[in-house]
Structure formats: C-alpha cells, structure tokens
Structure 1
Amino acid sequence: MRYLIAIVLSFVLVVNAYGFQIQKGRLTNGLRYVIARTTDVPIVSMTVMVRAGSVFDEKGKYGEAKVLATTLENCDTAHLKSKKLRFLFDKYGIISSVSVSKGYITISAVCLKENMDKMFYLVGEILKSRFDKKNFSIVKRQVIDRLKMLKNDKDYLAIHAAFEGLIAQSEYSHTSIGTLDGLKSITRGDVKGFFKKYFSSGNMVVALAGGLSDTDQLKIKLEKTFSSVKNTSGLKRFKDVSFRSGLNITNIVKPATKQSYIYFAFPSFDYPSKKYYASLILANILGGKLNSFLTKDIRTKHGYAYSIFAFNYRLPKRSVFVIGLQTQNRFTLDAIKRVFEDIGNFDGYITKKNITAAKEYLVGSMLIGLQTPQSISSRLAFGEMNGLGDEPWVFDKRMIRSITIADVRDAAKSIFGGSLSIGVVSFRDFKNEIRELANRYGYR
C-alpha cells in the first residue's frame, strides 16, 4: 500500500499554486482548521501543528517535547495497544510522522482518499495516548540512544557548538532532541503534564489538503477527531531570544578526524519581516546553490572545501544566519580566511543580477515545493499558526519580490557587522589562530 501511495504521489505535478479552494474555520472547541481542495488525485494529507516545541521544555528537563512526540506514535492509546496502532497505520497505507522543531510539534499523515476515515480515526487515537509505562520507558531509551549517536556526529557537534556560542538562553541553544541529563530526568508525569499544558485548541492548527470534496462532512469528521482536545483560547508565547555579544569560538578536538567541520553563526532577523526575506536572498547568493559566490571562490577557485553552503535558520523568535563548510585539516585556516574575505566583499556579490537570480530561484523552488498535498497542508498550517492572512506562498512571493539591492546590502551589513560564533570540529585546536584571523577582520 505504501508503494502505491508513492507511485500516485509521483504524478501530482499539475497543482495550480493559485487555484486552491481554501476554507477556514473553527471547531466547536475553538481549534482552527484550514481545508484546501487542490486536485482530483485521490490523496489526502493532514497536518496538525502545535506550538509546543523544544523551547518550551522545562529547565532541567530538556527533551520533553521530543519524548512526547515520540510517544504519541509508540504508546498505547485510549482504545488501541501500541502494536495495533502501528499495524493499522501500515495496513491502510497511512504514512505518518510526529516531528519536533524549536517552536512546534507537528503531526503529519497522508493516505489514499479511500482510507481518509481511517487516518482521521488513528490521528484522533494518538491524541488520546495513555503514555503507558512500558512503552514510555522504551521510547525514552530510544531517544537517549539517538542523542548518544549524535555525539559522534562531527557535523552536528560543530553546528551545535556555533549555536551555543551565539545564543544566550539554553532553552533556545539546546537541540530539539534535548540534553542527556535532561532526558534522563524526564518522567511519565512530566510528559503527561507537557501534553496537558500545550495540546489545547487555542494552541493548535489543523490543515487538510488533497482531493477533498464535501467540506461540511469534513468538518464533522474533524469535530470527532479532535473532540478530546480541551477548549482554550490563545497561543503560547515564545520568549525573545538573546544573542551573545562579540566573538565566541568553540573548537572541539577529534584527533582521528580527517577533515574539519566549520560553522559560522550570526544573529539574523525575525520572521516574517522584510529584513528576514532579504537575508534569505543573501544566503542564496552566498551559498544556496552550486554557482553561489562562496562556492565558486572557496571550493572551485581555491579548492579549500569539499562543500560550502549558507542558509538562514528560523527560530521561533529571530533567526540565525549560518555559513558551513567541510575541508581538509590542512586547509582549515585558509578556508576560514576566505570566508572572512568574501563576506566583506559586498560589491562582489550584492549585485542586481545576483539578486534577480536569487529571487527567481526562491520563488520557483517555493512553488515547485507545492506539488503534493503534504507540502500544501504543511505550509497552510504554518501560515495559519503565524497569522499571515494570505496563503503562505502568496505572502512569500510578494515579500521576496519587494526586496531591493539596498535591502540586501543593509541586511549583510547588519548580519556581518555584529556578533559572531564559530564552531569547529577538527584534529587539533585552532582556536587561537581563528581568533587572530577574526580580530583582523574586525570581530572582537
């Protein structure tokens, strides 16, 4: 059944991004919903977004959101044993996941239209988790094991070091999976309390997309599926993020490693401001594709890196502008120097031609991303959660189109003229030499 869904999805290539029939409303318990009728292809996707990400983990209990999300698909529910729950997801070809970001827990499910009622039922069941003792213990151990595995991932260690060096609050700087001490301390009671606090109607959004028809019947199904969700008003508030001032460098030594993993992290702007979209264009110009400025100079011209990239990582509040690269150990300092040289060369990369190309790339890739019901329901849930008003793809396109060369230049000056955190994993400690280089380019 899963293979059949994969085959059908591969043909969902004719979605008109501006021709969706969209209906919004609230259930009797206050939960907001969005329904998008997209195509006649018999696929239906559901996205349930809850403002309950890892920034809401209690201090000393970092990992609560991750453990909760993992238990939802792996514990007994009000009417089903965990084994039966997983069996039914597979039997009806329902592809599902429960993911965690810093801001949100997201439940996603997609199935053939003929199995939509089964999908509604099973999503409703995981929202009635019993967090039974046996399966909770298994889930907790699995999450701890996953974190221990990440501790051997040098790329993960480098970017995490860069984020910890930049962000002052531990609730923002710790990874969404949590910390080892935090995970060990989490109890079933903690997870039950977390669920009760955050899984409420005012703090959730549900979006449906696909080959849907009778919206009145869909609302009835939604009422039944989410009847267990308690009625509350208002979203939980994100705390403002605080960035450390000045220059911070963390160098983790792994003597056996054959290459260096390097990340630069700079404070960036809040979503959905105009400056945020200017930073997206800046990231695309510098390291968002194969012919980007940093790629052509550092990788192609000088041969100092296997890969180099740039992106703007959105936090619940503000964002972080990231430049990452991997290089041979002997090129570590050369590569870092070239990054400093290149990001300061505004006239070399902030050009009308580059900005036009970046806009076309970002708008085009955004619309290409709207070719499946899953991506549409996900984007609609996010847009509704953030009160955009317009459909997210309409809002994004308008904002991207509005950015000028002056906007990108101002964004670059602000981002590269402030604080900087560098995370490095390499075979030896380069910290002092990196600091000398950074000082030379004005970072203190």
Structure 2
Amino acid sequence: MRVQTTTLSNGLIVATETRSHVESVALGLWNNSGSRHEHPDEHGIAHLLEHMAFKGTSRRSAEDIAVEIENVGGEINASTSVETTSFFARVLKEDVGLATDILCDILRDSTFDEDELQREKHVIVQEIGAAMDTPDDIVFDRFAEAAFDGQPVGRSVLGTRETIETFSSDQLRSYLAREYGGDRMIAVAVGAVEHEDFLREIESRLGDLGSHTGDDSLSAAIYTGGDFRETRDLLDAQILIGFEGKAFLARDFYASQLLATVLGGGMSSRLFQEVREKRGLCYSVSAFHWSFSDTGLFGIHAATGEEDIAELVPVLLDEMTNLAGSIRQDEVDRARAQLRASLFMSNESSMSRASQIARQLLIHGRVLPRQEIMDRLGDISVERIRDLAYRTFGGSTPTVAAIGPLNPMLSYNDVHGRLSGPLEMRRVAAS
C-alpha cells in the first residue's frame, strides 16, 4: 500500500491509499482550522459550523443528506478540534462519488437556514449541559483552560451557552469564508479506491475553491499552569495533574509519547501497578501527552473515592519524582512496543488511516513512512527520557484540575512544592 498525493492548482491536496482487499472506502475533507482560530467573540462557532454543515444545502435538505448516505448503507460525520475540522464518510466502493458529492456540497453550499440554526443552537446548548453533568469529561476542559489561561488554545471547543446564542447565519458564512479554503484543505480516501478516480471527483467539485481570507498567524500559545477546583457532592473525584508538553514538530515529541506510556500507558505502567494494583487508591489512572502546532500538554488523570484522595495525590507526585531517576531499559522497550503496535493496529482501520494521513500532511507537509516513525522511536535512549522527565515534571509550573469531593486534597502550593524540590535534588545528584 502506497500513499499517492496530488496538489491542485488552488493548493488543495488530494491523497489516497489503495487497499484492494477491502470493499469500502473511508474518505473525508480536513481543514486546517479549529476552535483556536476563532476570534474572541466567536467562542464555539467552529463547532457550530460543523453541526450546521449537515442542516441543508440548496440541493439537499438536512433529511436528504441523511437519507442519501444511508440509502447506500454509508455513514457520515464530522469533528472539530483545537486546530482542525474534519468532515468524513465511509461507504462501499461504488458509492464514493455520492459521498464525495455530499461532503463537498455541505462545505460549499450550506444554506445556514435560520430556523435550522435556532434548532441546532438548542442542541449544542444541551450538549454543553450534558458535558457539565459529566465530571470525567468536563474536567479535561477545565484542565486545558487552567494550563493556557485566557487563550483560545485552552478553551472548550463547544463554546458557552452565552456565546452560542449570539451567532447568526451571516457570522457562520463569514467564518466559513475566512477560515476555509483550498489552500488549507486535505482530501483523503483510503480503501477500495483508485487515486485518479478520487482526484477527478475532488477536482470537479473543489478545484475552483478559493483561498481562505483570514490571517494565517496565530497568537503564540503561552503555557501558564494554574489551579481549577470545583467541589461537588459526588461519589468520586476526577483529578488531573499536568505540565507543559511538546509541540508536534518539537525534538522531544516522540520522547514525550514514550514517557507518558512508561508512566501511565497501560496495565504494566508505573502508575497502574503502584497506585491501582498495589495500593488500590483509585479505580482509574493514566498518563497522556497532547500536542498542538506550537505547544503541548502532559498530564495524569486519576479517578477515586473521597476517602483515598488524601493519600492518592502524594503518591501520584512521588511516582513522578521517582520515575525521573529510575526509568529502566525494559520499560522503555515495552513502551516502544506498545506505541508500535498501536500505530499498526489503528492503521488496520481505513478511517483511522485516513485521519492519520490528513494529520501528517497538515503537520509535516508529507506522509511519514512507518519505518521513519519506528526509527525515531528507536533512537530515544533511557537517558534522554530521564532528562525529559526532569524537565517536564520539575521545569514548568504544574496545572491541577479537579472536580468532586475535594476537601482532603493537597493545596496547589503543596503540589508544586512536592515536585520542584525533590526533582531538583535528584537532578543534582544524577549529574
């Protein structure tokens, strides 16, 4: 299987990966804009636009869009993230033309009918309310907000009740013209598809799509760290502790992925074994690393009952400080194997592979060969991850976000102090 790419005259990139052994095709359009591109008075408009794209064009009603794709047994959906928005479908190979036509139609000719807009605003307000009632979801939004205080990169993609209610159809049209264009778009198809066939489908519908009219420059993200706590009468507490992470193109991007996996990437990880299995202090614990174009977030998430909070948080902090000086070769090798397997297994899904191709083209300007990724992971030594752990856990102000019965939890200053002092002493001793 080989990825083929063609760049149209308007800058739009068309990419395909042919898989002759399947009968379906995963295809989509990825635009290099998301919630981070919103102006201060537009919080939530990128996500609202994603919803409204399915609410009718001059050729299709909202019902027509759903009926046409499901008449052939297909699926259609969309997603908004901090820096990208995607519209995608999965159909049998003979229906690629139909799916392409629908996806291009909703991007180029959505009517943004006022009645539909009012209904969809109500739906999104309900979605916001549902997120607020789900602590294990909303705590991640509060975590990002605290880490990047007052900045678009840290804001919830959903917006707020207040901002959503203000948007008009004209604002949606203005945002679409400003942020969407052929020069920001990637069209990808993976599965039982030929490159030239998909290229013709896209070129005939989007070959004359103009450039976006907005400013390409984004305000640099500045990691601030911070503390968010919301005491609620719940059976459990959701707790996040984090630090500044690495951008997609940073030297330590892959090392950060390995560090997160060693610390909390599976049942064999340090956190799972020590905190959950040996001590029984929580029912869920993990570590993660999120990347953006110019920054990142490294975090630990744990969920536990009120009676274990007082002991849990110090243990989490101790595991981080201990890890920096005691990472072993076998742990790094196991983390490498986990990431390798995850990459190969996810690529067995045509939709996951299409998303990966689009992301790599948007970030790197090319599709990374799998062996190149494996080589980058293989070049990372234990010493390099140990140094990264010192810099990550002791080199930036921590971010704490927690929701639940929090009275037994350490103060923010205590969290900060338990990290910075021990890590600095261990770093000096190691040197």
TM-score by length of 2: 0.92
CA-CA distance at 1:235 after TM superposition: 9.0
Aligned 8 A contact 1:307 1:326 in 2: yes
Distance 1:398 1:182 in 2: 46
| Counterpart in the other structure of 2:70 | 90
| Counterpart in the other structure of 2:256 | 279
Aligned 8 A contact 1:264 1:422 in 2: yes
| Counterpart in the other structure of 1:104 | 84
Q: Amino acid of the residue matched to residue 427 of structure 1?
A: P
Aligned 8 A contact 2:248 2:363 in 1: no
**Residue pairs, 1:224-373, within 5 angstroms:** 224-227=204-207, 229-231=209-211, 236-244=216-224, 248-255=226-233, 257-346=234-323, 349-373=326-350
1:194-243 deviation per Cα after TM superposition (whole angstroms, max 9, x unaligned)? 11111101011111111123x33332211123246224699934432101
Name the CA shift for 1:262/1:125 in 2 (closer, same or farther; >3 Å).
Answer: same
User: RMSD across aligned C-alpha pairs, in angstroms?
Assistant: 2.1
CA-CA distance at 1:348 after TM superposition: 6.5
Aligned 8 A contact 1:420 1:443 in 2: no
- Which of 30, 51, 59 is the matching residue for 1:49? 30
Distance 1:47 1:143 in 2: 23
**3-state SS of 2:42 partner:** coil
Identity of aligned residues (%): 17
CA-CA distance at 1:443 after TM superposition: 7.3
CA-CA distance at 1:312 after TM superposition: 0.2
CA-CA distance at 1:385 after TM superposition: 1.1
Q: Amino acid of the residue matched to residue 99 of structure 2?
A: M
Aligned 8 A contact 2:35 2:82 in 1: yes
- Which of 144, 153, 171 is the matching residue for 1:190? 171
**3-state SS of 1:161 partner:** helix
Name the CA shift for 1:313/1:161 in 2 (closer, same or farther; >3 Å).
Answer: same
Distance 2:239 2:159 in 1: 22
| Counterpart in the other structure of 1:435 | 413
Distance 2:116 2:68 in 1: 18
1:317-350 deviation per Cα after TM superposition (whole angstroms, max 9, x unaligned)? 2110010001110111211000111100136751
Distance 2:326 2:163 in 1: 44
| Counterpart in the other structure of 2:136 | 155
Distance 2:213 2:45 in 1: 23
- Which of 369, 387, 393 is the matching residue for 1:410? 387
Distance 2:82 2:214 in 1: 19
1:263-306 deviation per Cα after TM superposition (whole angstroms, max 9, x unaligned)? 01210111132311111001101111011101111111111111
| Counterpart in the other structure of 1:175 | 156
| Counterpart in the other structure of 1:6 | none
Q: Amino acid of the residue matched to residue 277 of structure 2?
A: T
Name the CA shift for 1:277/1:97 in 2 (closer, same or farther; >3 Å).
Answer: same
1:401-441 deviation per Cα after TM superposition (whole angstroms, max 9, x unaligned)? 22111221121111101210111112244566453354244
Distance 2:103 2:94 in 1: 16
**3-state SS of 1:230 partner:** coil
**3-state SS of 1:60 partner:** helix
CA-CA distance at 1:393 after TM superposition: 3.4
1:372-404 deviation per Cα after TM superposition (whole angstroms, max 9, x unaligned)? 221221111111111253436344323212211
Distance 2:230 2:255 in 1: 33
Deviates more, 1:391-400 or 1:216-225: 391-400
Structure 1 outlier segments of 4+, above 6 Å:
none
Distance 1:429 1:185 in 2: 38
Distance 2:357 2:410 in 1: 47
CA-CA distance at 1:49 after TM superposition: 0.8
Q: Amino acid of the residue matched to residue 419 of structure 1?
A: T
Name the CA shift for 1:231/1:341 in 2 (closer, same or farther; >3 Å).
Answer: closer
- Which of 203, 219, 228 is the matching residue for 2:199? 219
Q: Amino acid of the residue matched to residue 91 of structure 1?
A: N
| Counterpart in the other structure of 1:121 | 101
Distance 1:349 1:270 in 2: 26
Q: Amino acid of the residue matched to residue 179 of structure 1?
A: T
1:8-40 deviation per Cα after TM superposition (whole angstroms, max 9, x unaligned)? xxxxxxxxxxxx132211224331111211233
Aligned 8 A contact 2:177 2:213 in 1: no
Name the CA shift for 1:216/1:159 in 2 (closer, same or farther; >3 Å).
Answer: closer
Distance 1:84 1:32 in 2: 28
Aligned 8 A contact 1:30 1:232 in 2: no
Name the CA shift for 1:317/1:179 in 2 (closer, same or farther; >3 Å).
Answer: farther
Deviates more, 1:431-440 or 1:312-321: 431-440
Name the CA shift for 1:234/1:273 in 2 (closer, same or farther; >3 Å).
Answer: farther
**Structure 2 unaligned runs (5+)?**
423-431
Deviates more, 1:331-340 or 1:151-160: 151-160
Q: Amino acid of the residue matched to residue 402 of structure 2?
A: V
Aligned 8 A contact 2:324 2:390 in 1: no
Alignment length, in residue pairs?
A: 420
**Residue pairs, 1:128-139, within 5 angstroms:** 128-139=109-120
Distance 1:140 1:90 in 2: 25
Pair 1:204 & 2:185 matched: yes
**3-state SS of 1:149 partner:** helix
**Structure 1 unaligned runs (5+)?**
1-19
Name the CA shift for 1:144/1:119 in 2 (closer, same or farther; >3 Å).
Answer: same
TM-score by length of 1: 0.89
Distance 1:100 1:60 in 2: 18
